[in-house]
């Protein structure tokens, strides 16, 4: 009898804590499939409790679902839905779960909140990629938050938030880094003048280009090109690599 009781308890704990299949269903099969799995799991857990699903068990199950979904999305797509997780946690703590139907309904609400968060994340990624493509294609132009957001039909404030959240840097920093990367490639692989490099990279004047380049790269453009050329002649680097600092 004791062994049978332990087995039933283990099965119940597995149902309450292990949410992996539900996380995978939500990501790959959609909300309806995940909701059906969770509802069935609640039913099975209640059956092991002889139909009496304790409020505490329900809260633990919902908390497990909430944190499992947060961890799953973070691991699989490197997206942190911390705000979604926090709101769900607060809702669970303030809720009262008198029946398995209450738990199932609350769980479906959690699944829906993560589906919406994921949809918003995908939209942000799409907007970010469109913005990046526009920047690359118009790198020689004057690029502002307003001009790029207008080109991809979103608001400047939304684009600014998207860069900060999804790219981990500001819009201005990203544009600067793209200009510097292009400048380095041109200086290494072409013989065009530094004035033309400046123009192709979207700088208003060669002097301003030189100031920004030296601040970011640590060398003036002419010194960078000379060092890169010397290292290429010695076979130390290829045309597409950055020059190594001289020792």
109, part of any domain: yes
Does 174 lie in the same domain as 101? no
Instruction: Indicate the pLDDT class of residue 207, thresholds 50, 70 and 90.
Output: very high
Does 194 lie in the same domain as 87? no
192, part of any domain: yes
Does 116 lie in the same domain as 6? yes
CA distance 24 to 73: 10
Does 108 lie in the same domain as 178? no
148, part of any domain: no
List the CATH number of the domain containing 175. 1.10.10.60
Does 93 lie in the same domain as 15? yes
pTM: 0.63
126, part of any domain: no
pLDDT tens for each residue of 215-245: 999 999 999 999 988 887 776 555 445 555 4
pLDDT tens for each residue of 105-124: 999 999 999 999 998 888 88
Does 23 lie in the same domain as 99? yes
Segment 19-33 shows an average pLDDT of 94
Does 113 lie in the same domain as 9? yes
pLDDT at 80: 84
186, part of any domain: yes
221, part of any domain: yes
Does 115 lie in the same domain as 21? yes
Domain end (from 99, 120, 141):
120
pLDDT tens for each residue of 120-176: 888 888 888 999 999 999 999 999 999 999 999 999 998 998 888 777 889 999 999
Q: Which domain holds residue 210?
A: 170-233
Does 90 lie in the same domain as 179? no
Does 27 lie in the same domain as 106? yes
194, part of any domain: yes
74, part of any domain: yes
Domain end (from 97, 120, 143):
120
Does 174 lie in the same domain as 107? no
Count of structural domains within the chain: 2
Report the residue count for the chain.
247
Does 223 lie in the same domain as 115? no
């Amino acid at each position: 009898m004791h062994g049978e009781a332990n087995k039933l308890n283990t099965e119940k704990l597995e149902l309450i804590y292990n949410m992996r299949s539900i996380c995978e269903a939500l990501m790959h099969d959609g909300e309806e499939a995940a909701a059906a799995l969770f509802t069935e799991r609640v039913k099975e857990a209640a059956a092991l409790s002889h139909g009496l699903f304790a409020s505490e068990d329900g809260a633990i199950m919902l908390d497990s679902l909430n944190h499992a979904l947060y961890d799953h999305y973070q691991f699989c797509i490197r997206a942190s839905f911390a705000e979604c997780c926090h709101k769900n946690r607060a809702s669970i703590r303030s809720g009262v779960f008198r029946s398995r139907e209450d738990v199932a309904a609350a769980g479906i609400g959690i699944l829906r909140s993560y589906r919406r968060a994921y949809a918003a994340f995908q939209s942000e990624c799409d907007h970010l990629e469109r913005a990046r493509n526009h920047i690359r294609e118009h790198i020689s132009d004057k690029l502002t938050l307003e001009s790029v957001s207008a080109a991809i039909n979103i608001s400047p404030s939304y684009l600014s938030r998207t860069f900060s959240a999804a790219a981990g840097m500001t819009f201005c920093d990203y544009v600067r880094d793209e200009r510097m990367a292009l400048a380095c490639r041109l200086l290494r692989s072409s013989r065009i003048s530094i004035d033309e490099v400046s123009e192709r990279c979207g700088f208003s004047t060669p002097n301003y280009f030189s100031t920004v380049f030296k601040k970011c790269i640590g060398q003036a453009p002419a010194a960078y090109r000379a060092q890169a050329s010397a290292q290429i002649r010695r076979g130390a680097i290829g045309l597409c690599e950055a020059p190594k600092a001289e020792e």
